[in-house]
A = this chain, B = another copy of it.
Amino acid sequence: MNFDTVIQSGTVVTAADTVVADVGIKGGRIVALGTDLPPTGAKVVNAEGKYVFPGAIDVHTHLDMPFGGTTTADDFESGTTAAACGGTTSIVDFAIQYRGDELRKGLDTWHGKADGKAAIDYAFHMICTDLPIARLRDMDKLVDSGVTSFKLFMAYPGVFMVDDATIFRAMLQTKENGGMICMHCENGGVIDVLVQRALAKGETAPKYHALTRPMTAEAEATRRAIALAEMAGVPLYVVHLSAGDAMEEIRKARQRGVPAFAETCPQYLFLSYEDYERPGFEGAKYVMSPPLRPRGNEQRLWEGLANNALQVVSTDHCSFCMKVHGKGSMGKELGRNDFSKIPNGAPGIETRVHLLYDGGVRPGRLTLNRFVDVIATTPAKLFGLYPRKGTVAVGSDADLVIFDPKKRHVISAESHHMRVDYNPYEGREITGRVEQVFLRGEQIVTDARFTGKAGHGTFLKRAPSGQAALGLTAG
């Protein structure tokens, strides 16, 4: 038994277990866990008193994404570098099909964006905006090529929104091809009417973004998406769930045996509507959809994460600078006089693991095992990446995080790696720190500094997500 690397004496945490063990790595994979693995000839990393987590997986990112005349601030290089520093070793980003285009064209464009730039492994979901009956079979081809999940929108009429018949047809298609539908659940029709009425009344400040997107509009759409999936007989994955009432719809569906799943994001757990009322235009930092919810709602989400009403925490990382981007395009300023023009989205790819440990595990809201489950294991299982990714087990990729539970640091735009001029959690002190990160056995973060390189990340061809989700249903 010889190893390329041995991580010694760490507390290895999986979704089920917490044990002290050495981890032996060879050829980029974990080949042994043991009490005293022989270090001869291996690089030895001491992890005593530290946690060894599986590399986290972020199944909701938007890198290098065009949006209303601008582009997100982070491309695949800056975004994945920041992810790595935050303990994330795989992402699933959203490729976009624009109206009139083939699905394949959108996917090719996104491959072009990521290729040679990603510092961590990556996969794609496909956003579909145009699915006439004749194009449904194109979905099958994507599944064959490892893009096994499709995102549809119930919001943004005229841009991304598709009608219920289209959603239902797409679901029936994934029933055949094993893919899975991911859904943005907000009632876009209602929201548009509310936005128009607000603007007509001169209500243009950032907070009206939230006030025109009621929680009920999300709960309704969530219930509708579940009903469609139930009638189609397929699994459903609800993205960026924000409202407690929407969560109850997921819970009720699961109780009656419907394979419905949902992710929430740190912003819904740590921030609240009150942030929109910050002075001046500062509220624009928090303009995202769904919006932040009133204080008190986050407690429901925490409980839902603990008792499995929610299954995943991802980021919906979608960064726009407040001022001008490095690339020269406009940022949030676009909407200074009209909240509806503020680019929707906020950065988060780098802060998820730290926030969830500090605010979830430390105060006892989540066990260590549940924490690993929601940031790594379940995402991997739902999206066809398991067991290659998502756990610390013999045979899995050696994507590992060594985490010091005692070290403190402060979140700040000054020190973060994301290419954006603010951080929603600016000044928050965090206990616990990602110290070392390994991707397929190579160390890409060393003592909390990025030591990997662009292009090291590879495209992950995923197994069918829908089938994986069904497999997860019983338990």
A residues adjacent to B (C-beta < 8 A): 1, 12, 14-21, 24, 31-38, 157, 163-169, 172, 187, 189-190, 192-194, 197, 214, 216-217, 219-220, 223-224, 227-228, 230-231, 251, 254-255, 257, 303, 305-309, 364-367, 369-371, 373, 377, 387, 391, 393-396, 471-475
Taking CB atoms, residues of chain B closer than 8 Å to A365 are 474
Closest chain-B Cβ to A165's Cβ sits at a distance in Å of 4
Taking CB atoms, residues of chain B closer than 8 Å to A373 are 16, 475
C-alpha spacing A16/B392, complex, angstroms = 10
C-alpha spacing A193/B387, complex, angstroms = 37
C-alpha spacing A366/B474, complex, angstroms = 5
Most buried by B among A16, A228, A377: A16
A32 with B35: in contact, given A168-B190, A306-B474, A474-B306 (CB under 8 Å)?
Answer: yes
Contact between A37 and B217, CB atoms less than 8 A apart: no
Taking CB atoms, residues of chain B closer than 8 Å to A34 are 1, 24, 31-34, 394
From B15, B19, B197, B255, contact of A393 by CB (8 A): B19
Contact between A190 and B387, CB atoms less than 8 A apart: no
C-alpha spacing A256/B365, complex, angstroms = 13
From B36, B306, B377, contact of A473 by CB (8 A): B306
Contact between A393 and B17, CB atoms less than 8 A apart: yes
Taking CB atoms, residues of chain B closer than 8 Å to A369 are 16, 475
C-alpha spacing A228/B219, complex, angstroms = 11
A475 with B306: in contact, given A32-B32, A169-B193, A219-B227 (CB under 8 Å)?
Answer: yes
Contact between B164 and A16, CB atoms less than 8 A apart: no
Taking CB atoms, residues of chain B closer than 8 Å to A19 are 387, 393-396
Contact between B257 and A231, CB atoms less than 8 A apart: no
Contact between B32 and A33, CB atoms less than 8 A apart: yes
Contact between B216 and A220, CB atoms less than 8 A apart: no
C-alpha spacing A471/B475, complex, angstroms = 20
C-alpha spacing A393/B394, complex, angstroms = 11
From B172, B216, B231, B387, contact of A217 by CB (8 A): B231
A224 with B231: in contact, given A14-B17, A164-B190, A475-B366 (CB under 8 Å)?
Answer: no
Taking CB atoms, residues of chain B closer than 8 Å to A387 are 17-19
Known: A17-B391, A31-B35. 16 other contacts (CB 8 A): A12-B394, A16-B17, A16-B377, A17-B393, A20-B394, A32-B35, A34-B34, A157-B165, A165-B189, A165-B193, A187-B224, A187-B227, A190-B231, A223-B224, A224-B224, A367-B472
Taking CB atoms, residues of chain B closer than 8 Å to A166 are 189
Contact between B395 and A1, CB atoms less than 8 A apart: no
Taking CB atoms, residues of chain B closer than 8 Å to A393 are 17, 19, 21, 33
Copies in the complex: 4
Taking CB atoms, residues of chain B closer than 8 Å to A223 are 220, 223-224, 227
Closest chain-B Cβ to A463's Cβ sits at a distance in Å of 14
Contact between B16 and A15, CB atoms less than 8 A apart: yes
Taking CB atoms, residues of chain B closer than 8 Å to A36 are 1, 31
Taking CB atoms, residues of chain B closer than 8 Å to A371 are 475
C-alpha spacing A144/B323, complex, angstroms = 53
C-alpha spacing A166/B193, complex, angstroms = 9
A231 with B255: in contact, given A17-B387, A32-B35, A189-B168 (CB under 8 Å)?
Answer: no
From B164, B303, B471, contact of A187 by CB (8 A): B164
Taking CB atoms, residues of chain B closer than 8 Å to A18 are 387
Closest chain-B Cβ to A216's Cβ sits at a distance in Å of 5
A474 with B370: in contact, given A165-B157, A220-B228, A307-B308 (CB under 8 Å)?
Answer: yes
A303 with B257: in contact, given A34-B34, A228-B220 (CB under 8 Å)?
Answer: yes
C-alpha spacing A22/B115, complex, angstroms = 37
Contact between A193 and B168, CB atoms less than 8 A apart: yes
From B20, B307, B377, B391, contact of A254 by CB (8 A): B307
C-alpha spacing A309/B256, complex, angstroms = 12
Closest chain-B Cβ to A48's Cβ sits at a distance in Å of 14
Taking CB atoms, residues of chain B closer than 8 Å to A377 are 16
Taking CB atoms, residues of chain B closer than 8 Å to A20 are 394-395
C-alpha spacing A145/B19, complex, angstroms = 25
Most buried by B among A37, A165, A257, A471: A165
C-alpha spacing A208/B21, complex, angstroms = 53
